[in-house]
Amino acid sequence: MSQPPAPPLDLTADVARLTAGLIDIESVSGNETAIADVVEQALVPLAHLEVLRDGDCVMARTMLGRDERVILAGHLDTVPLPTRAGSRGTVPSRWEGEVLFGRGATDMKGGVAVQLALAATLVDPTRDITFVFYDHEEVEASLSGLGRVARSHPEWLQADFAVLLEPTNGTVEGGCNGTARFDVRVTGRASHAARAWMGVNAIHGAAEILGRLRDHEPATVRVDGLDYRESLNAVRIAGGTAGNVIPDSTVIEVNYRFAPDKGPDEAEAYVGALLEGFDVERTDAAPGARPGLQHPAAAAFVAAVGAEPKPKYGWTDVARFSALGVPAVNFGPGDALLAHTDDEHVHADAIRACLDALVAWLS
Amino acid sequence: MSQPPAPPLDLTADVARLTAGLIDIESVSGNETAIADVVEQALVPLAHLEVLRDGDCVMARTMLGRDERVILAGHLDTVPLPTRAGSRGTVPSRWEGEVLFGRGATDMKGGVAVQLALAATLVDPTRDITFVFYDHEEVEASLSGLGRVARSHPEWLQADFAVLLEPTNGTVEGGCNGTARFDVRVTGRASHAARAWMGVNAIHGAAEILGRLRDHEPATVRVDGLDYRESLNAVRIAGGTAGNVIPDSTVIEVNYRFAPDKGPDEAEAYVGALLEGFDVERTDAAPGARPGLQHPAAAAFVAAVGAEPKPKYGWTDVARFSALGVPAVNFGPGDALLAHTDDEHVHADAIRACLDALVAWLS
């Protein structure tokens, strides 16, 4: 896909109107060049910022020599446009009173607009700031623009603390759980179902595994002052070959969402102990992220926002920052439950309130 | 497929040599016309027999006005030829000493040869005999030539007792277990795996079902003097949609092989009671067959054969006769465990011994 150049952005306009302008530039993952271009063009004239670009990732930073540096990050891409007739969460944006509808309204062009407004107005912040506008967040992790920059220019992402402006309804969501997947295999011996005593039933052999998973009480783990609720679940099961054959194999896929006090290896040990006696193979894992709220920049941020921080359960890009040694939280306008929906929308005041909170923190 | 006409059969030859001649006429299910034609041509000249034909099912019967009538039945078709190089259970037949290799050697051209030899030589049997040579046994039940005749000419199959000459290694196998299949469904509520507490896991919900099946002790039921060993098994399980979603559905397919003291409805009630509290739907059922060995013709048959009768576990066409009100047993040359194998074979003496036993019974 290609698009004509988008009209330039006015970063000094009301931040909610700026959000509408960003929604109007369609930027489904893989099609971020147009929006990256206008973001870059809007930032380059700002004398207090150094602008960097890697593919469709645009970065801008102050170089004031402050004691601390913070990252404000957001992704430029969206999930595909709704296909249902009558959907309001599409492109271009539309206003219904002070509610803004459009693809990306919550996830996360409101946050990107707040970043841009801060970049234009905070010429003398109390902390050095690195703004990151990145591509390919809504697709497989291997394509992530943030991951690409972390690999090719890790020094661009050095900071003491990072805020991802993902929608959190104005609260601070810290860290995230890790996730690991396992295949648990039960092996039996096939036989004709009419002579079942000649075989060993691998589906019956899975009863004990499912019983242990059913009876397992997932822990809630306090990490850096936030309570992370874990989950441990069978997410898929398959066994059997035919209606007249005693099954010789059953495979159960187990997903463990573990608190950020552990890494993937500890998660594997935990699942291995729970399912002791069975063949457990780890197939996939991504570490979580500690909230890092004890860091001075983070503590100041939480104080400025004034709301009680909450844990994040799903895996987000804060884990990518955490892996780089940068504590990170989510804080942005809009309700995450509306993300990706056909009627995605955000209230103008939520965007403005987010901007005000960040200005207060960084001024 | 079509074949040139096969050479005529000599029904007075040694019954093992006659078996080889039958093997040499390839008759994979659906391709029985050539063998049915030569069987019919061999029977028509026999003045003591009335010959009937329906499609590729050939029948011949004495009409001597005896007090009892017995059926001797066998299928003309075979499973497909072996594809593995070097297989000996193929077409044409080959002798290795007194062992005859070839497709159908055990299942069941030896039995068909015994039927033909009896038809040719027993001109004055003590019981009226109906010989049935039928098509399409090795494929789905709806195609069965025996089932077709039972529907279109049920009077052709009237008898007091039937012997199916399926391979039983020279023992009498009486009746058969019935079989019924059930889908057992567990319904949950989907949620993101990172917020598992918002959902209800339908795979964990299957633990109780699998536990009951695992702990269930299948019964052995004595019916008409034979012990029928039952089986009750999960044969397939499937649940889950994605690695990050709490599964909202699991389906377990259960197969119950039930003794012939019950019908499908009693089998369903039994499974329903075992899995009480769960959603159990019957998807398929075929009744079994009582051995009927208390019938005078059957008792005389067992006495003539001189071996202790055994129960049959798998479902066979004796159940079709049973449904028509004709008690039936399996009795034939060859080891059923060799049926359908790439090296299918039978010993010449096993065929001759089967013939001798039936001659003794019917003379």
ipTM of this predicted structure: 0.75
- Domain-embedded: residue B64: yes
Predicted confidence band of residue B1 (pLDDT cuts 50, 70, 90): very low
- Domain-embedded: residue B159: yes
DSSP, collapsed to helix, strand or coil, labels residue B314 as coil
Q: Extract the tokens encoding A93.
A: 């944006």
Write down which residue in B286, B318, B337 finishes a domain. B286
Q: Do B207 and B252 share a domain, yes or no?
A: yes
Q: Are B192 and B246 in contact (CB under 8 A)?
A: yes
Altogether, the residues listed in chain B come to a count of 363
Q: What is the pLDDT of residues A340-363, one digit of tens each?
A: 888 999 999 999 999 999 999 999
Q: Do A30 and A164 share a domain, yes or no?
A: yes
Euclidean distance between CA atoms B338 and B167, whole angstroms: 9
Q: What is the structure's pLDDT at B190?
A: 87
Contact list in B for residue A232 (CB cut-off 8 A) is 196
Q: Do B49 and B165 share a domain, yes or no?
A: yes
Q: Do A29 and A138 share a domain, yes or no?
A: yes
Q: What is the pLDDT of residues A230-251, one digit of tens each?
A: 999 999 999 998 888 899 999 9
DSSP, collapsed to helix, strand or coil, labels residue A158 as coil
Cβ of A255 within 8 Å of Cβ of B243? The answer is yes
- Domain-embedded: residue B1: no
The torsion of the CA quartet B333, B337, B339, B343, rounded to 10 degrees, works out to -100
Q: What is the structure's pLDDT at A1?
A: 46
Please name the amino acid found at residue A352.
R
Among A221, A310, A207, A206, CA closest to A270: A221
Euclidean distance between CA atoms A356 and A306, whole angstroms: 12
Closest-CA distance of chain B to residue A125, Å:
36
Q: What is the structure's pLDDT at A308?
A: 84
Residue B193 is nearest to which of A233, A238, A252, comparing CB atoms? Answer: A233
Contact list in A for residue B315 (CB cut-off 8 A) is 194
Q: Do B49 and B195 share a domain, yes or no?
A: no
Contact list in B for residue A255 (CB cut-off 8 A) is 193, 243-244
Q: Do A190 and A50 share a domain, yes or no?
A: no
Q: What is the pLDDT of residues B302-361, one digit of tens each?
A: 888 877 888 887 778 888 998 898 988 999 999 988 888 889 999 999 999 999 999 999
Residues 6+ apart with CB under 8 A from B232: A196, B213, B216, B218, B254, B255, B256, B257, B271, B274
Higher pLDDT, B316 or B87: B87
User: Is residue A137 annotated as a catalytic residue, yes or no?
Assistant: yes
Closest-CA distance of chain A to residue B231, Å:
6
- Domain-embedded: residue B225: yes
Euclidean distance between CA atoms A318 and A173, whole angstroms: 10
Write down which residue in A234, A263, A286 finishes a domain. A286
Find the mean pLDDT for residues B150-154. 95
Residues of chain A with pLDDT > 70, as a percent, come to 99
User: How many other CB atoms sit within 10 Å of the CB of residue A283?
Assistant: 11
Q: Do B168 and B232 share a domain, yes or no?
A: no
Residue B214 is nearest to which of A181, A204, A237, comparing CB atoms? Answer: A204
Write down which residue in B268, B286, B304 finishes a domain. B286
Q: Are B123 and B48 in contact (CB under 8 A)?
A: yes
- Domain-embedded: residue A1: no
Q: What burial class does residue A160 get, using C-beta atoms within 10 Å of its C-beta: 0-12 exposed, 13-18 middle, 19+ buried?
A: buried
- Domain-embedded: residue A9: no
Report the number of distinct structural domains present in chain A.
2
| pTM of the predicted protein model | 0.76
Can you give the residue range of the structural domain that contains B303?
15-175+289-362
| CATH code of the domain covering residue A266 | 3.30.70.360
Contact list in B for residue A192 (CB cut-off 8 A) is 314
Cβ of B203 within 8 Å of Cβ of A233? The answer is yes
Among B123, B172, B157, CA closest to B292: B172
- Domain-embedded: residue A5: no
User: Is residue A77 annotated as a catalytic residue, yes or no?
Assistant: yes
- Domain-embedded: residue A114: yes
Q: Do A256 and A153 share a domain, yes or no?
A: no
| CATH code of the domain covering residue A135 | 3.40.630.10
Euclidean distance between CA atoms B305 and B357, whole angstroms: 5
Q: Are B298 and B312 in contact (CB under 8 A)?
A: no
Q: What is the structure's pLDDT at A254?
A: 97
Q: Per-residue pLDDT for A15 more than 90?
A: yes
Euclidean distance between CA atoms B117 and B276, whole angstroms: 54
Q: What is the structure's pLDDT at A122?
A: 96
Q: How far is residue A186 from each of residues A34, A210, A275, B205, B239, measured CA to CA in Å?
A: 52, 12, 12, 18, 16
Q: What is the pLDDT of residues A26-79, one digit of tens each?
A: 999 999 999 999 999 999 999 999 999 999 999 999 999 999 999 999 999 999
Q: Do B255 and B325 share a domain, yes or no?
A: no
Q: Do A80 and A153 share a domain, yes or no?
A: yes
Q: Indicate the helix (H) or strand (E) that contains B297.
A: helix B296-305
User: How many other CB atoms sit within 10 Å of the CB of residue B218?
Assistant: 16
Q: What is the structure's pLDDT at A337?
A: 81
Q: Do B78 and B104 share a domain, yes or no?
A: yes
The torsion of the CA quartet B236, B238, B243, B247, rounded to 10 degrees, works out to -140
> Which regions of A240-356 does DSSP assign to beta strands (E)?
245-246, 249-258, 279-286, 310-311, 328-330, 345-347
Of all residues in chain B, the one with the smallest CA distance to A188 is B235
Q: Do A126 and A253 share a domain, yes or no?
A: no
Euclidean distance between CA atoms A2 and A25, whole angstroms: 12
Closest-CA distance of chain A to residue B145, Å:
23
